[in-house]
Each structure stands twice: as C-alpha cells, then as structure tokens.
Structure 1
C-alpha cells in the first residue's frame, strides 16, 4: 500500500444518479472503504427516490457523515426524528427515511454508508 493516496470528490471514481434527477452520489474508493458526497435536490425523499433501487421498506444503511449545506429531516422506523443542517455531524442506524427540507440542495459527506447506496 502506498504511503500517500490522493483522491478528490470533484473527480470521483463513480457517480450514481438518483431517480427523477433528484441528486447524485459521487464516490471515491479508499483502502478503508468508500467515501461519498451526496447531493440531494429539493423534493428528494428516500422512500420515493432510493427505495425503488434499494428494494427495502426503509434505508437499511448505517451512516456516519457531515452536512455541508442544505437541511434534511431523518425519521427512524420507531418514529424518532431529527433535523440536520450545515456543520452537523450525523450517525444514524439502519431503518430510517429521510427528505430534504426547503428549497436548497442538501450536500452530505458520508464515510460509512454509501458503498452500496443507490446502486442500481
């Protein structure tokens, strides 16, 4: 393994578009696993735009991430909910829905849950 590795989300190894043009996931592959930058457009909702790809009733990925811009609401299957925005860090367990709040795209960097996320 090399002593230094440089990757950029501006030139990702892979790009996965979301349903109906509601955003995209840009991924870089690192030795420790993939890191992704997701851009969720206004009107995006997991249960509408990712569920058809995932084939599960709710998002079954765990996430560890950082909100760069925009706002998002996440609701766990048990009803617990929280809103996130710029500067917030997130850890969320499997079993949730999420959607963009407002009219600004929501950009999230995630280093845990995007490896299989939105995979066709």
Structure 2
C-alpha cells in the first residue's frame, strides 16, 4: 500500500474489510480516502434474499450499485418487476430496491464503486 495526503493505492488481495455472506461468498472492501470500493465474490447459488437480506434486515437491497462485472453472470430483479442480466464486461448502475441471483455455475465477481459503505456489513 502506498499513501500520501491525496493518493491511495490498495489491492483487493489485502482488503481493509472482508464481509462474509450468510453462504456463497463474500464482499471485500477498500477504504479509498473515505470512499468505499467493493469487490464481491458471489458463488453459484448466491441470492441476495438468502445471503444478504438476513444481514441487511430489509425486504430488498436498498443500496445503489455502480460497477463492473469481471466474471460470471447475475440476474437483477427490481421491486417493480423489471429484470436485467449482467455479464462479464458489463458496466452497470442499479438503483435501490432489488433482489439478485447468480446464474450458472461460475462465481460472479464484480467491482462496486457505488454506495458500498454498509453493504453486507453486520451491525
């Protein structure tokens, strides 16, 4: 890690915090001068309503996500019924109010630059 007053360089192989899901993966977080950047490893079988809802305590995910999919696939269902599927190489913006699930048998790895501060964080 290299830091100065205005510059921070970190790596996800040494996260500032690792947040395990109920099962099926974890979310790693880096504090970049007060902005939290996340890297989620969502294993096959992961579903927000099973793996994060018990931690978040809300009926659907209330976090805004802005990210990039590195591997795997994820289907997102908005509370209003709209659906989208995210594939490797996709850049995405997801509003609060959704559920999501991994599709297939490959771990879905995503970088998240959105409101990641309290995502999957036990209080």
Q: TM-score range by the shorter chain?
A: over 0.9
TM-score normalized by the length of structure 2: 0.93
Number of paired residues?
119
The alpha carbon displacement at 1:115 in A equals: 1.1
2:95 corresponding residue in structure 1: 93
2:46 corresponding residue in structure 1: 44
Large movers: runs of 4+ above 2 Å: none
Match of 1:67, SS state, is strand
Match of 1:47, SS state, is helix
The alpha carbon displacement at 1:32 in A equals: 4.9
2, 7, 13: which one aligns with 1:4: 7
TM-score normalized by the length of structure 1: 0.95
Q: Deviations over 1:5-29 (max 9, x none)?
A: 2111111100001112x10111110
Q: For the residues of structure 2 that align with 1:3 and 1:64, how far apart are their CA atoms?
A: 23
75, 78, 83: which one aligns with 1:76: 78
Give ranges in structure 2 of 5+ residues lacking alignment.
Answer: none
Q: Which moved more, 1:4-13 or 1:65-74?
A: 4-13
Q: Deviations over 1:94-119 (max 9, x none)?
A: 00000000000000000113210111
Q: For the residues of structure 1 that align with 2:68 and 2:5, how far apart are their CA atoms?
A: 27
